[in-house]
Amino acid sequence: MALHPDRFFSPEPSQRQVARLLYAHVADLPLVCPHGHVDPRLFAEPAYQFESPLALIVLPDHYLLRMLYSQGVPLESLGVPTLDGTPYERDPRRAWRRFAEHFYLFRGTPSGIWLTHIFESIFGIQERLSAETADLFYDHIAARLAQPDFQPRHLYDRFKIEVLCTTDTATDTLEHHMAIRQSGWHGRILPTFRPDSVINLDTPDWRANIEQLSACSGIYIHDYRTFIQALETQRTFFRSMGAVASDHGAASPYTEHLSYAEANFIFQRALRGTISADEARRFTGHMLIESARMSAEDGLVMQLHVGSWRNHNPRLLRRFGRDKGADIPQIAEFTRNLKPLLDAFGDDLRLTLIVFTLDESTYARELAPLAGHYPALKLGAPWWFHDSLNGMARYFDQVMETCGIYNTAGFNDDTRAFLSIPARHDLWRRAACNWLAGLVVRGIVDESDAAEMAVELAVGLARRAYRL
């Protein structure tokens, strides 16, 4: 199907008309991408070429894999490599056909929206993907991938990206970022400091991660004090490489201040491999406060993503590894859990803490009220499953009345699917303009206010929240 010029707008003519006008203001603004998971390697090699339509579009996208798997399509048949020696489809074209046969599953889903946008606006294909058209799509896309103007650096410009932040583990040497800077290319690809694998003491291979942290920081970590020093050293390194933010993932937003002695006691037990689940939880809660302290001091914006139960399906994890679509959200609670952190740094104007949730019941009940009071707190964009048309509508509906747009951090695309970035910003901008148009036609804001707000939501809030 062809992309509808008024897609995602209310069908009501007066609202649609206002939405269209507002969208015209923001449609061509550059894309500000302060949080995502694109591989920096794409930009490190000037002539980087994507491998195959399958490797480009299907394999890295856990949204696609989960939906196909839920309908009984074995991941092996989609060409997902196995870790346990089970045979899997090696022919990317045959795996692509399996995907194409099941494309109807994505009707009415964000994946359907993004893929339709990619096929039409990036590859110029207006057909519908299906068993019949699988090869046509495959051939056409494969041919495009081979052309020089399809190299990521060209696409970066074509997409009008202003800045793209990646997510990099705390022990990363940032070699690709280094290569990008040294190449003299004008693109702005920035690393983000993600210390989960050393902060969450129950991470698999935590001991090895600590050794890596020792190695890359040059600080021999043997107690809590040296651990903190090493983290601070790496933060300094990341900042020197352009980082503007850190990112933290946790099962819950639990925070608790531990004394030095307690923190060191737990850390030492972790070094000896005798940590309990509760100790790990408390240590993470303490390190969130400690990370807020570091952020207040060094200026890295602190992002906190909570509520994902990673690798919920152990059978899938054993066979295929992480990030295959088996992470499941959980209930979250912020009013009580964040209080120790907010007691310490909630009023600190040096800190920006951006919180993301998977539990929408916390939007109106906890997060908007908290962000509408604490100067340090901002509410992040609708995350993951909620990064969708209805998810955005619910976010605007439940958040904005209480904290206003100015206590939110605008949009981020949060994707590892580079090609989907324009589609995701387009969806957000249209959803935002449609929401604003709804305010205008209901007499709540006037068109000039709405136009300013549209620009803020498209680029301004993200730029300011992330100090870009």
Residues between 344 and 363 that touch its own copies (CB under 8 A): 346-347, 349, 358-361
Residue 410: enclosing H or E segment and its boundaries?
none
Closer CB to its own copies, residue 209 or residue 434? 434
Least distance from its own copies to the Cβ atom of residue 1, Å: 5
Which of 213/306 has CB closer to its own copies?
306
Choice from 24, 51, 86, 108 touching its own copies (CB under 8 A): 108
The residue among 211 and 452 lying less far from its own copies, judged by its C-beta, is 452
Q: Closest distance between its own copies and the C-beta of residue 90, in Å?
A: 23
Q: Which amino acid is at 462?
A: A
Task: Spell out the alpha helix ranges (H) of 59-151.
Answer: 62-70, 92-101, 110-117, 134-145
Q: Judged by CB under 8 A, does residue 113 bind its own copies?
A: yes
Residue 366, classified by CB atoms within 10 Å of its CB into exposed (0-12), middle (13-18) or buried (19+), is buried
Closest CB to its own copies among 134 and 219? 134
x/- letters, 422..461, toward its own copies (CB under 8 A): ----------------xx-xxxxxx--x---x--------
Residue number, 74 or 187, with CB nearest to its own copies: 74
Contacting its own copies within 60-89 (CB under 8 A): 66-67, 69-72
For residue 80, the minimal CB distance to its own copies (Å) is: 14
User: Which 87-106 residues touch its own copies, going by CB under 8 A?
Assistant: 104-106
Q: Could you say which residues in the range 253-292 bind its own copies, by CB under 8 A?
A: none
Q: Is 9 left (phi over 0), alpha (psi -120 to 50) or beta?
A: beta
Half-sphere exposure of residue 46: CA atoms within 13 angstroms, side-chain side: 6
Q: Which of residues 301-320 bind its own copies (CB under 8 A)?
A: 309, 312-316
Q: How far is the CB of 78 from its own copies (least distance, A)?
A: 14
Of 69 and 267, the one with the shorter C-beta distance to its own copies is 69
- C-alpha count within 13 angstroms, C-beta hemisphere, residue 74: 10
| Closest to 345 measured CA to CA, from 369, 315, 377, 388 | 377
Stretch 2-41 residues interacting with its own copies (CB under 8 A)? 3-4, 6-12, 14-15
Of residues 216 and 328, the one with the C-beta less far from its own copies: 328
Identified binder of its own copies from the candidate list 266, 326, 451, 459, rule CB under 8 A = 326
Q: How far is the CB of 428 from its own copies (least distance, A)?
A: 15
C-alpha to C-alpha distance for 456 and 22, rounded to whole angstroms:
12
Taking Cα atoms as reference points, which of 447, 168, 455, 434 lies closest to residue 300? 168
Q: Which residue is associated with the tokens 């994707």?
A: 415
- Integer-rounded Cα radius of gyration of the chain: 23
**Given 158, 310, 318, 336, the residue binding its own copies (CB under 8 A):** 336
Binding positions for its own copies, 398-427, rule CB under 8 A: 398, 400-407
**Single-letter amino acid, residue 264:** N
- Which two three-digit tokens encode residue 1? 């199907």
Asked whether position 370 contacts its own copies by CB under 8 A, the answer is yes
Region binding its own copies by CB under 8 A among candidate stretches 27-35, 225-233, 240-248, 383-391: 383-391
Task: Name the minimum Å distance from CB 225 to its own copies.
Answer: 28
Q: Mark 380-406 as b/e (b = at least 16 C-beta within 10 Å).
A: bbbbbebbbbebbbbbbebbbebbebe
Angle between helices 260-271 and 277-298 (to 10 degrees): 120
Can residue 121 be called a binding residue for its own copies (CB under 8 A)? no
E runs forming strands in 251-391: 301-306, 308-309, 328-329, 353-357, 377-379
Instruction: Please state whether beta strands 31-33 and 301-306 pair in parallel, antiparallel, or not at all (unpaired).
Output: unpaired
In contact, 440 and 84? CB cutoff 8 Å: no
Site size toward its own copies, by CB under 8 A: 91
Please report, as residue ranges, which positions from 129 to 168 form the binding site for its own copies (by CB under 8 A): none
